[in-house]
Structure 1
Amino acid sequence: MTRAVWVKADDSVGDWDDRRERVTAALEAGADWVLVDEADVERVRELGEINVAAFRTDGDVSLIDDAEADGTAGSPDVAVVGKNGEGDGTVDLPGDFSGSADLSTLRRDRPVPAGAYVRILNEDYEAFAEAAAAEAEYTIVIGEDWTIIPLENLIARIGEETELVAGVTNAEEARTAFETLELGADAVLLDSADPDEIRRTVEVRDETDRETLDLEWATVRSIEQIGSADRVCVDTGSLMDDDEGMLVGSMSRGLVFVQAETADSPYVAARPFRVNAGAVHAYVRTPGGETKYLSELSSGDAVQVVDRDGGTREAIVGRVKIEQRPMFRVALETESGDRVETLLQNAETVSVATPEGRTAVTDLETGDEIALYYEETARHFGEAVEEQIIEK
């Protein structure tokens, strides 16, 4: 599941200057959505590229008209009902919901996806949110007292029907929302003017989305010089830490943890944005558990950065450098007794992770152990498949 962060910036948070500050902070932090009033949609579009959800604020929540899908700067990506209606308690909630203007709006044919905004004031509003979720692509629930944890009930009952967006006021509440019942909300709506809190909430989103991989120690069975090949350096738009690198290998089932060039050497300064990854034919792991050939990478692609504990994050490729260089063939034996290989450049700046720390590939010897990600699966166009493929 890919989580999302929404930032609330409608007229309840202040005048346009206040709202603009929230939108700008959301853009700078990398938030996914802003929730504004429909009158502000065009202004938000002028500030930058971000998904825009808009409250209907013309006093008639029973209408979602074609003007909202005409492709202009004033068109939202999602039209949200519930503000100044039953959803937020402004209008009394009908006993059986059949006369609800909000639900009637959601049931109409509409040119853009619809969202429902519901404040959970009591159990009746919890039931109303369930009814709205059956009609809305997005259901925003604002808990007045999350100690009763209606979010657990809503995740269990409507988690598959709609994109569930939980209202929060800080990053820690966002973490709880993402982790509730282990499944968590699809998104959070952050009501905060603090740019640091918006940034921290985005960081929580990223942490929640990250895989954690089980790395193992594979034993070097041979290492030999084999001549030259076309070598790929992957330069990212991010700085990597000393314990980070990428997973690459000649065989998709066994990917070697190659460290980033974060260490200075007598020969060259550190390049902490770079992984000297291997030859053009090798696989590199990308977000979502897929792989690409190193030769396929280009500027703008996403790659997976991994640390020694198996923690992962996404980085964007800024540049790929392919040059002919002398290579080593490194053959490894996994804990299960399988044999995998990869090609790495014969250079002191290329290093791998060992139990003691990091070792330059030029210093590797038979019997050494290096970090490896191993999975008993084959790959077809980068996707894991259940079929027999022989790699040697």
Structure 2
Amino acid sequence: MKEIWLLALGENWEDEKEKIKDAIEIGFTGVVVRKEFEDLAKKLGRIKVFGVEDGVGENAIFFEIESAEDQNKAVELSEKFDYLFLKFSDWKVIPLENLIAMKKKAKLIAIVNDLDEAKVVLTTLEKGADGIAIAEDRREMMRRYYELASGEKGFVELKRAKIVEIKPLGVGDRVCIDTVTLMGVGEGMLVGNRAGFMFLVASESEESEYVSSRPFRVNAGSVNAYIKVGDRTKYLAELKAGDSVEIVNYKGETRRSYVGRVKIEKRPLILIRAVANGEEGTVILQNAETIKLVNPEGKHVSVANLKEGDEVLVWIGEKARHFGVGIDEFIIER
């Protein structure tokens, strides 16, 4: 997740206060205010605050890039400050690329004027700047910048996979993920025994004959399985309250949520094996009719009714994983 800062540098505190309150409610990383408003801003909520005077604050500095000499000066400043807020007089990618590659300890926060600039900043050299700063007073636009910086919304490409094996197993430890977000039909999380082959496991958003719906929950699978979280993976057994998770719908649209709690319990398990694009993958789920996968039409299919030949949605990755990060190396997962 990239950082996003609000520049609330106006002279009227009442006007700036309303913008800061919006930033806190949306989830911004921090705000920058005039030095005389620093203490007032800190009382509004739990958010980082930099009070600046003449472009300098405690552990932060504002600097404008107009030339190659300025670029070199910015690198020097990045050794002295924790945050370097950069303004580019002539928006070019090359100076930003150079600073991303050359900077020292400071976090590089680029001041942007529109969403297109923000997209460039956050993806330059693939890694991108550490964050963006905006001067904006419209709540809806602030929300759009936040979604872009935080990766709250995104997209993954899902593929059709054909079920080739369904095998009941014995009792094992399975993981239920209760999130702080309500999910709908066709939404769930990507889980699998291979980091590069994951099944869209449905949320418990449908009513059952015996159990009420729990639309905040995904009964995700066995403790050994991977779950996809942005560009990384985690083991289901590692998840805990407060961790970030990725909710995915049958169209491949993603949104960010957080774990409210995790329940690990012993339950009878079932292995599901599927094939897509010549790739094969498996997932081990609880053997119960409330546990469901998602088909290409966005409908939930219970593992109790699943048959060989049925189609479900999966995500296929390209790289092996080491500590949750994609790497290029020879590895076989079965």
TM-score, length of structure 1 as denominator length: 0.72
Shift of 1:262: 1.9
Q: State the shift of 1:126 in Å.
A: 6.1
Q: Which has the higher contact order (CA 8 A, sep 6+)?
A: 2
Give the residue type in structure 2 aligned to 1:6. Answer: W
Give aligned-pair identity as a percent. Answer: 33
The structural deviation recorded for 1:384 is 3.3
Q: Quickly say closer, same or farther: Cα 1:376–1:188, change in 2 above 3 A.
A: closer
Show the counterpart of 1:230: 173
Who is 1:363 aligned against? 305
Is 1:55 the counterpart of 2:1? The answer is: no
CA change 1:153–1:54 in 2 (3 A) is farther
**Farther off after superposition, 381-390 or 125-134:** 125-134
RMSD: 2.9
Q: Given that residues 256 and 371 in structure 1 are in contact (C-alpha distance below 8 angstroms), is that contact kept between their aligned partners in structure 2?
A: yes
SS in 2 for 1:235: strand
Distance (whole Å) between structure 1 residues aligned to residue 238 and residue 130 of structure 2: 32
Does structure 1 residue 115 correspond to structure 2 residue 61? yes
Report the counterpart of residue 270 of structure 1 in structure 2: 213
Matches of 1:251 and 1:157, distance apart in 2:
37
Aligned to 1:22: 19
Aligned to 1:226, the other structure's residue is in SS state strand
Structure 2 counterpart of 1:136: 77
Inter-partner Cα distance in structure 2 for 1:352 and 1:345: 12
Which structure is higher in strand share?
2
Task: Give the structure with the larger helix fraction.
Answer: 1
Q: Give 1:15-164 correspondences, 5 Å limit.
A: 15-56=12-53, 79-80=56-57, 113-118=59-64, 125=66, 130=71, 132-137=73-78, 138-141=84-87, 150-152=91-93, 154-155=95-96, 158-161=99-102, 163-164=108-109
Shift of 1:275: 0.7
C-alpha distance 22-321 of structure 1, shift in aligned 2 (>3 A): same
Change (3 A) 1:381 1:199: closer
Quote the residue 1:202 is aligned against: 146
Aligned CA distance change for structure 1 residues 127 and 227 (closer, same or farther; 3 Å): closer
Q: CA deviation at 1:164?
A: 4.5
CA shift, 1:214, in A, is: 2.6
The answer to whether structure 1 residue 166 and structure 2 residue 111 are counterparts is yes
TM-score by length of 2: 0.83
Cα displacement (A) at 1:152: 4.7
Structure 1, unaligned runs of 5 or more: 62-78, 81-111, 144-148
Alignment partners' CA distance in 2, 1:3 and 1:323: 35
CA contact (8 A) 1:178 1:185 kept: no
Equivalent residue, structure 2, for 1:177: 117
Corresponding residue of 1:73:
none
Q: Is the 8 A contact 1:247 1:284 kept in 2?
A: yes
Matches of 1:131 and 1:345 in 2, distance apart? 58
Gaps of 5+ in 2: 79-83
Alignment partner, residue 158 of structure 2: 215
How far has the Cα of 1:374 moved from its partner? 2.1
C-alpha distance 160-52 of structure 1, shift in aligned 2 (>3 A): farther
1:293 matched to which residue of 2?
235
Number of corresponding residues: 320
Task: State the distance in 2 between where 1:159 and 1:389 align.
Answer: 32
Structure of larger gyration radius: 1
Shift of 1:252: 2.5
CA distance 1:131–1:227, change in 2 (3 Å):
closer
- Give, in angstroms, the shift of residue 127 of structure 1: 6.5
Per-residue deviation, 1:113: 3.7
The CA deviation string for residues 228-281 of structure 1, in whole angstroms up to 9 with x for no partner, is 322211011122233321111223232111111222233323222111101122
Asked if 2 retains the 8 angstrom alpha-carbon contact of 1:126 and 1:150, the reply is no
Per the alignment, residue 8 of structure 2 pairs with 9
Letter in 2 for 1:165: A
Contact 1:281 1:294 survives alignment (8 Å): yes
CA contact (8 A) 2:165 2:273 kept: yes
